[in-house]
Structure 1
Amino acid sequence: MKHRIARRSSTIGRTARRLGVLSGVCLAALAVAAPADAVPFSSRPGRGVAAFADRATTHAGRVHPDQYEDSFTVHELGTVFSVAANNRATAVSAGCSSQHPCRSIALSFQIVTMAGDDVRLNATNLGRAVNEQCPGCQTLAGAYQFIVSTAQPFALSPAARTQLAAVHRRLDALDTSNDPVAVVKQRADDLAAQVKALLDREASAAAGSGAAARSAKSGPSVTVHRHYDGAN
């Protein structure tokens, strides 16, 4: 029987874990209330410094041999001068047999929008999959980090938020898939491509053509960090 892990929908709980590089900085977070299947958003306008961590973690074993978890969070920061963003996916399979193998999948999507010139960014994005005495087990960890940088702060449009929520639902739907991890990985890559295209459009629209845009050192950019680890 498939055991489903309850997904995280609270941004406060995750963003409260401060990274060591900024452990001495007091941060305030505002979480936007949303339904459980919506995208968690966080915002720190005008704070200048931000640090947060997002996680997806699974541990499959004999009792619960089929595990899946995903995380999908958007951090809209406004104008900042220093950001520490940490995104990790960790999947573990342990103690199952080749006759009854485990399946453990963790996927984490983190979206960060920030504005300003010469922002000090410390971005960590890591996927880690581990098989512990688990022959034939399928273990997959994938981390996707999207960094949107613009000269002037902007908010994602309502249409973009709706589209991101739809991507999140499709990511959630992978929970009920019995596809091999290679297929799940491809589907996650397809969803990441949709997120990238959406963010490209939003960043370009936000750039504008006013005096502030013309004086910016560089145009808007969307950088994607992707890291996978898998063991079969």
Structure 2
Amino acid sequence: MEPILQFGLDLTRWLQQTYPQLRGLMELLSQLGTVEFYLLVLPLLYWSVNKRTSIYLLNLFLITATINGFCKQFFRGPRPFWLESTLGTGDDGRYGIPSGHVQMSTIFYTYLAYWSGKGWAYLVAAIAILLMALSRIYLGAHFIHDTILGFLLSALLFIAFLVWQRRYEAGFRKRILGRRLLYALMVPAGLTAVYLIGLLIIGQPNSNVPWADLIPTAEREGIDD
């Protein structure tokens, strides 16, 4: 087994055996990174806090989800409980790397901290992201490198968003409505095209791995997403 995978298994096993009393908390924290949670929170933000913030977040979520799906199919990495079933009871059949929970939470909390403009908000965001990563590792849903890559991908996306906002947003808003809608549709269409082309390029998965019996489900769920 690859050393990085073995290290991840050892880390999750150590966390579970050393701190068994944290399982309930970790499961709760993990639920705060689900799609259902964000589908509940975004409308509340839209109607109660700031409409533009919610729209930006929604677009960032859609781009993040597309990037996450493509990377999962590209790397085709296992989850810890695929290799050692006693480490988790998760029923997620998708590939592991990168962590979607960490990607989503990084975008969510970082953007809210940026929108608030408060120094303490960035500290809260960092703690929330770290706790999300810890919960996924603890529960055997992800290796530590899954969470690190998830964070890095969202950090790069957020930096790209800041560049767009500061250099191009003003010009974008001066365009007529039809042109703005066209540009808005081009982004998901382009990402989808890249995703589909990427699936064709990477070819068939390697079946000579310990989790080979889980590959058909992972491939099917990756395409369905």
Task: Return the structure number with greater relative CO, CA threshold 8 A, min gap 6.
Answer: 2
TM-score of the pair, normalised by structure 2: 0.30
**More helix per residue: 1 or 2?**
2
